[in-house]
Amino acid sequence: MHTRKPHVAGALLFAALFALAFAARAEEVLVHFDTSPGARPPADFSVALTGGGGPVAWVITDDPTAPSGGKVLAQTSTDKTSDRFPLCIYEPLTAKDVEVVVQFKAVAGKVDQAAGLVARFRDKDNYYITRANALENNVRLYKVVKGHRKQFAGANVPVSAGAWHRLKLAVQGIHFQVFFDEKLVFEATDETFTGAGKVGLWTKADSVTYFDNLSIMAHDPR
């Protein structure tokens, strides 16, 4: 495991090489929630829970501030169990090398106000996840192995509650890049999960979080 903060020259070079490697073979999926019926998870998604606590509550709800125009995917359960991680997984696509982007708004939460992106999801206890937290004002990258989280990169970044932000996770081979509001905040490497997996959304504990405009760019050979 190795973590690097994005010094300007090195970060630009790495980002350029990363983009060139991805550009040749990309398959993009754009998920909007405006046409999804409410009161249940959208079609093509399954829900899961890492850790303890009560059931998750992923629903489609209205938000006039939503970037896409009105409806969002929301995690609305408020169980305060600290090691509770609701998941909403996009089922149709499995990929190894991906760029996943989502817009999110931290709405409420006393224990946490977190929003996350999942990649290389094998099952509810094994995956990568990057998340932003409005209570802690940071962005972090974890691997979840056999249900246990281990951080391997992170940075302190202002994350305002009640406002829309953009979070991006790019994974190629053992290399990771995490972006927040269009800016590269850190890079890292890890070799725990090297195969293909699914992608999805994540929250923590009592976080009430809204998500919109999920973009998945898969770069595996067809």
Tokens of 73: 């995917």
173: left (phi over 0), alpha (psi -120 to 50) or beta: left
Q: In the predicted model, is pLDDT for residue 123 greater than 80?
A: yes
pLDDT (average), residues 107-114? 98
Q: How confident is the model at residue 41 (pLDDT cuts 50, 70, 90)?
A: confident
Least confident of 12-16, 72-76, 82-86: 12-16
The pTM assigned to this predicted structure is 0.88
Q: What angle do CA 216, 120, 88 make, to 5 degrees?
A: 65
**Which residue from 104, 98, 51 is spatially nearest to 75, judged by alpha carbons?**
104
Q: In whole angstroms, give the CA distance from residue 57 to residue 60.
A: 10
Of the chain, the percentage scoring pLDDT greater than 90 comes to 78
Q: How confident is the model at residue 220 (pLDDT cuts 50, 70, 90)?
A: confident
pLDDT (average), residues 83-102? 97
Fold designation for 2-218: Jelly Rolls (2.60.120)
Q: In whole angstroms, give the CA distance from residue 1 to residue 140.
A: 15
Q: In whole angstroms, give the CA distance from residue 151 to residue 129.
A: 9
Tokens of 31: 């998920």
Q: In the predicted model, is pLDDT for residue 17 greater than 70?
A: no
Residues sharing a CB contact under 8 Å with residue 129, sequence separation 6 or more, in sequence order: 116, 117, 118, 119, 141, 142, 143, 144, 149, 202
- List pLDDT tens digits, range 163-189: 999 999 999 999 999 999 999 999 999
